[in-house]
């Protein structure tokens, strides 16, 4: 599935996710600016923060308690905020567009 990341500079980067990858891992593979994944995906750094457009947000499983707590502490949080490392990519997400918020 192809995921498009709109970076802070407005440039859109599209990356092709491999099976079992998350939104964070797919961004790293695609060289997306602004997605760092410092904690390696254990939901403790929030350097994988993305904004998911509303129509797509409904197709994702809602954030778990740990993810919701991390998002709560972010300066740039929005209702559509997610942590990329907590969102597995699957075929149903082909064509997903997410935006990269400013760094915290």
Binding positions for ligand FES, rule: CB under 6 A: 24, 37-39, 41, 43-48, 83, 85
**In terms of CB distance, is 25 or 55 closer to ligand FES?**
25
All residues at 6 or more sequence positions from 58 whose CB lies less than 8 Å from its CB, including other chains: none
In the chain, alpha helices (H): 23-30, 54-57, 65-72
Closest Cα partner for 98 from 4, 11, 2, 1? 4
Instruction: Determine the Cα angle at 19 with ends 14 and 21, to 5°.
Output: 65
**In terms of CB distance, is 55 or 83 closer to ligand FES?**
83
Nearest distance, CB of residue 18 and ligand FES, angstroms: 17
What is the residue whose two structure tokens read 């993305």? 50
How many Cβ atoms sit within 10 Å of the Cβ of residue 50? 25
Nearest distance, CB of residue 46 and ligand FES, angstroms: 5
**In terms of CB distance, is 37 or 88 closer to ligand FES?**
37
Nearest distance, CB of residue 32 and ligand FES, angstroms: 13
**In terms of CB distance, is 14 or 44 closer to ligand FES?**
44
Nearest distance, CB of residue 91 and ligand FES, angstroms: 22
């Amino acid at each position: 599935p192809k995921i498009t990341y709109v970076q802070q500079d407005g440039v859109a980067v599209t990356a092709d996710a491999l099976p079992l990858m998350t939104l964070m891992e797919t961004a790293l593979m695609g060289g997306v600016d602004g997605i760092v994944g410092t904690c390696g995906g254990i939901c403790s750094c929030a350097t994988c923060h993305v904004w998911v457009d509303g129509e797509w947000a409904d197709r994702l499983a809602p954030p778990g308690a740990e993810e919701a707590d991390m998002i709560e502490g972010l300066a740039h949080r929005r209702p559509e905020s997610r942590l990329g490392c907590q969102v597995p990519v699957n075929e149903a997400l082909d064509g997903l567009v997410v935006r990269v918020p400013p760094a915290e």
